[in-house]
Structure 1
Amino acid sequence: MVGLNLPTVFPIPPEASTEISEAWMRKILDEYKTDDMFNEAFLANVVFLQPRGRRGEHPVTKDAIKFLQEHGMKDYTFISSSNYLPGPHVLADQELREVWKMVDDSNGTCMVTLKLQQVPSDIPEALVITGQDHALSFALPSRIKSKFQSLPFAGLRILIKDNIHLKGIRTSVGSRAFYDTYPPQEKSAQCIQEMVDKGAFIAGKTKMNSFGNWEEPIEYTDYQAPWNPRADGYQSTGGSSSGSASAIAAYDWLDIAIGTDTWGSITRPAQWCGCFGLRPSIGSISTDGIVPYVQSWDVPGILARYLQKCRAFAQEWLNFDNFDKAPESFSSIIWPTDFWKIMDHKQSSIAKSFAQDMAIKLNIKFEEISFEELWRSVPPSADAPLLPQFINQATASLAYDVYHNSEDFRSRYWNMFKRAPYTTMQNERLWDAGKKTTLNERNEGFQRIDIYRQWFQQTVWTGDHTNAITIMPLESATPRYRDDVPNFRRPPQDGINALALGPVMKSPVLAVPIAEIPYHSRVSDREEKLPFAVALMGAPGTDLKLIDTAIQILQSLHLPTVVQTGRSMYQD
Structure 2
Amino acid sequence: MKFFEIDLSAFYRAAAGEKPVFESRTSVLSDDSDVPPKNAARISTVIDVGEVSYLCEETPFHPLKLSDSSAIEQLASFLPPEGPISCQSLQKAIQEDLQNDDVLSSSFLRSIVLVTEETSLDRETLGLLSSLGCERVFLVADTNVGKGPLFFSCRGIFRVFRLYPDTHDAFVTSVIPSLAGKDTYQSISASAYGQRTKCVAVPSRLYFKRTDELPLAGLRLSVKDVFHLKGVVTTTGNRAYESLYGEQDASSAAVQAAVDKGAVIVGKATTVEFAGAQEVEGDWADFRYPKMLEG
**TM-score, length basis structure 2:** 0.68
Larger Rg: 1
- 1:130 alignment counterpart: 191
Measure, in 2, the Cα distance between the counterparts of 1:47 and 1:141.
Answer: 19
Q: Does residue 191 of the first structure (1) align with residue 254 of the second (2)?
A: yes
Q: Does residue 170 of the first structure (1) align with residue 233 of the second (2)?
A: yes
* Partner amino acid, structure 1, of 2:162: K
Listed one character per residue, the Cα deviations across residues 50-104 of structure 1 (whole Å, up to 9, x for unaligned) are 2xxx4x52x5332221111111111111112243120111112251211111122
Higher relative contact order (CA 8 A, sep 6+): 2
Does the 8 A contact of 1:38 with 1:142 survive in 2?
yes
Measure, in 2, the Cα distance between the counterparts of 1:65 and 1:217.
Answer: 62
* Partner amino acid, structure 2, of 1:9: S
* Partner amino acid, structure 1, of 2:260: D
Which one of the candidate residues 93, 108, 119 is aligned to 1:42? 108
Which one of the candidate residues 261, 274, 277 is aligned to 1:211? 274
Is there any run of 5+ residues in structure 1 with no aligned partner, and where? 233-527, 529-572
After superposition, residues 290-369 of structure 1 pair within 5 angstroms as none
* Partner amino acid, structure 1, of 2:219: L
Q: Relative to total residues, which structure has the larger strand share, 1 or 2?
A: 2
- 2:87 alignment counterpart: 22
SS of the aligned residue for 1:64 comes to: helix
Is there any run of 5+ residues in structure 2 with no aligned partner, and where? 10-71
- 2:208 alignment counterpart: 146
Measure, in 2, the Cα distance between the counterparts of 1:147 and 1:211.
Answer: 36
Measure, in 1, the Cα distance between the counterparts of 2:90 and 2:154.
Answer: 28
Measure, in 2, the Cα distance between the counterparts of 1:74 and 1:149.
Answer: 35
Listed one character per residue, the Cα deviations across residues 334-380 of structure 1 (whole Å, up to 9, x for unaligned) are xxxxxxxxxxxxxxxxxxxxxxxxxxxxxxxxxxxxxxxxxxxxxxx
Does the 8 A contact of 1:125 with 1:169 survive in 2?
yes
Listed one character per residue, the Cα deviations across residues 179-223 of structure 1 (whole Å, up to 9, x for unaligned) are 122121111011211211222110111111111222336357111
- 1:486 alignment counterpart: none
User: How far is the alpha carbon of 1:112 from its aligned partner?
Assistant: 1.4
Measure, in 1, the Cα distance between the counterparts of 2:165 and 2:74.
Answer: 23
After superposition, residues 259-270 of structure 1 pair within 5 angstroms as none
- 1:90 alignment counterpart: 151
Does the 8 A contact of 2:80 with 2:89 survive in 1?
no
- 2:163 alignment counterpart: 102
Measure, in 2, the Cα distance between the counterparts of 1:119 and 1:105.
Answer: 26
Once the two structures are aligned, what percentage of the paired residues are identical? 25
SS of the aligned residue for 2:157 comes to: strand
Identify the range of structure 1 (116-125 vs 201-210) with the bigger mean alpha-carbon deviation. 116-125
Change (3 A) 1:147 1:62: farther
**TM-score, length basis structure 1:** 0.37
Does the 8 A contact of 1:103 with 1:139 survive in 2?
yes
Measure, in 2, the Cα distance between the counterparts of 1:7 and 1:149.
Answer: 26
SS of the aligned residue for 1:83 comes to: helix
Measure, in 1, the Cα distance between the counterparts of 2:128 and 2:88.
Answer: 10
Measure, in 2, the Cα distance between the counterparts of 1:221 and 1:130.
Answer: 25
Q: Does residue 31 of the first structure (1) align with residue 96 of the second (2)?
A: yes
Change (3 A) 1:119 1:201: farther
Q: Relative to total residues, which structure has the larger helix share, 1 or 2?
A: 1
Change (3 A) 1:183 1:94: closer
Does the 8 A contact of 2:210 with 2:216 survive in 1?
no
Measure, in 2, the Cα distance between the counterparts of 1:23 and 1:118.
Answer: 38
Measure, in 2, the Cα distance between the counterparts of 1:32 and 1:119.
Answer: 30
Measure, in 1, the Cα distance between the counterparts of 2:150 and 2:179.
Answer: 13
- 2:16 alignment counterpart: none
* Partner amino acid, structure 2, of 1:142: S
* Partner amino acid, structure 2, of 1:224: R
